[in-house]
Amino acid sequence: MIGIFDSGVGGLSVFREVRKVLPEESYIYYSDNANCPYGGKSKEFIIDRARKITELLLEKGARIIVVACNTATAVAIKTLREEYPAIRFIGMEPAIKPAAQMTQTGVIGVLATAGTLSSEKYLNHKGKYAAETTIAEHIGEGFVELVESGNTAGHDAERTVAASLLPLLEAGADTIVLGCTHYPFLSETISKVAKERFPERKVTVIDPAPAVAKHLKEVMKEEALLEATPKEAPSVTLLSSGDSTILEQTFQRL
């Protein structure tokens, strides 16, 4: 069984891609929506929550865990790997490298939480893969709240997205990296706003989830964790620390 957790429903954007490449596996997904968003929480709080969620997932039978949250990956995955050496943890990777290879204007836009933008992992990727590329950054203000409320399209969503997206586009960005797993649920709105405000520019939105799913499958092969002949039909268990309504509704839409 594969365990996946996030601060809320955002990690379902990762689960969606994982299930495409590993359809015969069973899953347990944990949404810590009672404490969402993680972006403004302290390092100590996030590590404590990651530890407690990991314990729960292991008790439920998870054999490998996907930290489907950029902030939790940046803050807690190193600690998790040290404290649970027998378990493989798959985290989120900043998609700086593919963005740097793809941009035509030489400017990459990054939408993420404050925790991700200041993290060692993000800063290392930025220095390693985008030394010759200009990077414009902005916190996706209100993005997580939109997704957690199920309000991912329409006037209010477009207005909220525009406030954080336009500074990146005005800086010349033609490639937008989504640095939070909630943000892919706003991809259509992001693309719509970009096309309306800068119709002459082709803007590409990069979701890192497919690359994470590919890496997970590779690791499971290495660790002999793939279910070659499942004894039971694949199952999906959804758990949450708060109201599970949005989690269940989002899952059904997927």
Q: Is 36 considered catalytic here? A: no
Helices (H), 64-141: 70-83, 96-102, 114-117, 120-129
Q: Is 180 considered catalytic here? A: yes
User: What is the edge-to-edge ordering of all strands in the sheet holding 175-179?
Assistant: 134-139, 107-112, 175-179, 204-206
**CB proximity list for 221: less than 8 A, separation 6 or greater:** none
DSSP string, 154-219: SHHHHHHHHHHHHHHHHTT--EEEEESTTGGGGHHHHHHHHHHH-TTS--EEE-SHHHHHHHHHHH
Residue 198: alpha-carbon gap to chain centroid: 26
Q: Which of 2, 65, 69, 193 is catalytic?
A: 69
Q: Which of 178, 180, 194, 247 is catalytic?
A: 180
C-alpha 186/C-alpha 189 separation (Å) is 5
φ, ψ at 30 (rounded to 5°): -115, 125
| Contact status, residue 111 vs residue 180, Cβ threshold 8 Å | yes
Counts for the chain of helices (H) and strands (E), in that order: 11, 9
Residues belonging to the active site: 69, 180
